[in-house]
Amino acid sequence: MLNRIARPVAALLITCAGVLTAAGPVAAEPNPDVTVIAHRGSSGIAPENTRAAIAAAIKQRADFVEIDVQRSKDGHLVNFHDCTMERTTDVEQRFPGRPSYRVSDFTLAELQQLDAGSWFDESYAGEPIITVADVVSQVRGRTGLLAEISPCEHYDGIPEDLAAELRGTPGYLDEALADGQLGVQSFELDDAQRFHELLPEVPIGLLDAQRPTDAELVALSEWADQVNTESSVTDAALLARVHELGMASNVWTVNEPGRMRQLRDLGVDGIITDFPQSLTQR
C-alpha cells in the first residue's frame, strides 16, 4: 500500500560512504512485501494506458496501476503519457495536416476517435484513449491507482483538476484512502506541492531521475510521502535515508527480474514495472 511512514525525530549524519548513526551504518531492511505497480498498466503485454493494459494488470494481481494525467482541449482529464500522440496512435492518419498533435489540442470526442492499440499489435486495434474517470471506474475496488501529473510544460492547473476529479467521484476518495489504494506523483515539484495543498490526505510522491541530495531529501520530508527514483540511482544508502526521514520509495521502471530481486532485497517499498506478473506470479 502507498501509505505514509511515521517520521522519526532523530537526524542522521551523511558521509560519502553511506548513512551513519551513532550506532554505525544503517542498512535498508529487505522488503519481501514490495508493492507491485503496473507501469501504464501491464504495458509489457498490452498497449500502454489502455483498458486492455489495466485489465491485464488487475488480472496479474498488481497492487497498483500507474497512469499519466493530461487534459483535453475541452477540459477532460485523460490517461496518456507522451505530450504528443504520434508514437502510440493513428492521429496523423486520422487528422492529417493538423499544426500540432499535442493531447491538449484535441477535444475528447476527437481523442476518442483515435486507435491507441494497433501500434502495439493488430490484436489491439481500436483500443481508445480513455479518461481518468474511465480508469477510476475500472480499478475501483479491484486495485490501487497511482496517478502521475503530466510534466508536459504547456499545462497548468492539472493538480487542481485532478483533485476536483477525485473529489467529484462519489465515495471513491474515501474508499481508496481507507484501503490504501490511492497515490499521486509528479516530476514537477510545484505540481506535487500544489496537489498536496489541495488533498493533503492523499499520499504524494516526487519522481526523480537523478539522485537527490541530502538537503533535497530533508526539504521533501517536510511534506512529501514518497521519493520515487529511477532504479539506476537507487541504492541501500539512499533508501535508508529516505526511510529514516519518514518517506517511502517506489523505484522505476524495472523490468529485469534480477534487478527486481536486488531492489526488493535492498528495501524498496514499491517497484514500478511494465511486467507486474514477474513479481506477482511466482
Supply the residues annotated as catalytic: 39, 81
Identity of the residue numbered 106: F
Q: What Cα–Cα distance (Å) separates residue 264 from each residue in 23, 214, 218, 276?
A: 25, 23, 24, 14
Q: What Cα–Cα distance (Å) separates residue 282 from each residue in 61, 210, 265?
A: 12, 32, 16
Q: What is the dihedral of CA 72, 75, 81, 83, to 10 degrees?
A: 60
Residue that has been written with the C-alpha cell 504547456 in this structure: 154
Nearest-CA neighbor of 279 among 53, 3, 42?
42
Q: Can you tell me the distance from the alpha carbon of 135 to that of 40, in angstroms, rounded to the nearest whole number?
A: 11
Q: Can you tell me the distance from the alpha carbon of 202 to that of 216, in angstroms, rounded to the nearest whole number?
A: 21
* 270 bridge partner residues: 35, 250
Nearest-CA neighbor of 269 among 245, 244, 239?
239
